[in-house]
Amino acid sequence: MEISKDLTAASSTPLVLAILAEEDSYGYAILQRVRELSEGRLEWTDGMLYPVLHRLGRLGYIEGRWEVAESGRRRKYYRITAQGRLHLDEQRRQWQAVDATLRGIWRTVGLPGPADFTMSTRPLPAGG
């Protein structure tokens, strides 16, 4: 199952903010974490993460800083700001509201709910 472009784009902000709320990170590691969490179902084009990071930076939700990684290369790390945490909270509430609404309607019309999509039953994608 591939998740549609619109949903991928819409979920990118809370996902990136939440990953950065776990710990400071950099582009490649953020993408790895997304793959891990979604078990490969959220497929991002690598490059497109960076405009998203820039947008979040401009809005003041995250901050970037250059550091020298253990590989010896300069690497840009990102950190979530206090404002970013507030926004993440706000986003979480919105997504929960959407989720609750959908769960309600799935139940009413008798379609299977999220319990049938447990992550563990999904095979891990190759190369992820």
Partner 1 sequence: MPTQDDARSLEEQIDQWRTYLRRRQAIHSVDVAELEDHLREQIAVLSDSGLDTDEAFLVAVKRMGDLDALSREFAREHSDRLWKQLVLVSSDSGESRAHAQTEAVVVLCLAVAAAALIKVPALFGIQIGEDAGFYARNLSLFVLPLLTVYFIWKRRLDGRTIAWLGAGFVAAALFANVYPFAPDGSTQTLTALHLPIALWVALVGVAYAGPRWRAPDGRMDFIRFSGELFIYYALIALGGGVLMGLTAMIFRAIGIDIEPVFESWVLPCGAVGAVVIASWLVEAKQSVVENMAPVLTRLFTPLFAAVLVMFVGTVVWTGRGVGIERDVLIAFDLLLVVVLALVLYAISARDQESPPGLFDVLQFVLVVSALAADALALWAIAARITDFGLAPNRVAALGMNVILLVNLARSAVLYLRFLRRRASFAALERWQTAYVPVYAVWATFVVIVFPPVFAYI
Please say whether the beta carbons of 78 and 63 come within 8 A. yes
> 77: buried, middle or exposed (CB in 10 Å: 19+, 13-18, 0-12)?
middle
If residue 111 lies in a helix (H) or strand (E), which one and from where to where?
A: none
**Which one, 105 or 124, has the nearer CB to partner 1?**
124
55 near partner 1, rule: CB under 8 A: yes
Number of CB atoms found within 10 A of residue 48's CB: 12
Candidates 3, 7, 48, 124; binder of partner 1 (CB under 8 A) is 48
Segment near partner 1 (CB under 8 A); pick from 16-24, 52-60, 84-92, 111-119: 52-60
9 near partner 1, rule: CB under 8 A: no
Residues of the shown chain interacting with partner 1 in the complex, contacts defined by CB under 8 A = 26-28, 45-48, 50-51, 54-55, 58, 66, 69, 71, 73-76, 127
